[in-house]
């Protein structure tokens, strides 16, 4: 998370909401490094992180649940990442995530 968001201007990362996965156990370090507030969703409350759940659904178009992701190479992951980040989303008025994020930087 720090590597992905660390180079963004501080005013662009105000809060981060995590699910309860153990991969976010270092949330205090994330708060410190990114100078932002972090929150955790309540268990079994998917509606609290709707965009995440929607993105998981989009990922399932490429990688079915239960698929062994260790068999997917970096090049393929980057291709899927690019496709999803350049796909218009209703939640941001049908702009792409890349345009919404980087369009404001350049």
C-alpha 59/C-alpha 33 separation (Å) is 28
For residue 86 the two structure tokens come to: 């350049």
C-alpha 91/C-alpha 97 separation (Å) is 10
pLDDT digits (tens, 9 = 90+) for 66-78: 999 999 999 999 9
pLDDT digits (tens, 9 = 90+) for 76-104: 999 999 999 999 999 999 999 999 988 86
> What is the sign of the dihedral through the CA atoms of 100, 38, 55 and 84?
positive
DSSP letter string over 39-51? EEPPTT-GGGGHH
Q: What is the pLDDT of residue 106?
A: 57
pLDDT digits (tens, 9 = 90+) for 26-50: 999 999 999 999 999 998 887 888 8
Supply the pTM of this predicted model. 0.71
**DSSP character for 22?**
G
């Amino acid at each position: 998370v720090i590597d992905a968001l660390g180079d963004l201007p501080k005013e662009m990362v105000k809060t981060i909401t995590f699910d309860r996965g153990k991969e976010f156990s270092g949330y205090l370090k994330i708060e410190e490094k990114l100078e932002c507030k972090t929150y955790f969703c309540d268990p079994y409350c998917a509606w609290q992180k709707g965009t995440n759940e929607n993105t998981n659904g989009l990922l399932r178009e490429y990688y079915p649940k239960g698929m062994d992701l260790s068999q997917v190479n970096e090049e393929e992951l980057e291709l899927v990442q690019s496709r999803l980040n350049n796909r218009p989303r209703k939640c941001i008025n049908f702009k792409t995530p890349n345009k919404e994020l980087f369009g404001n930087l350049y």
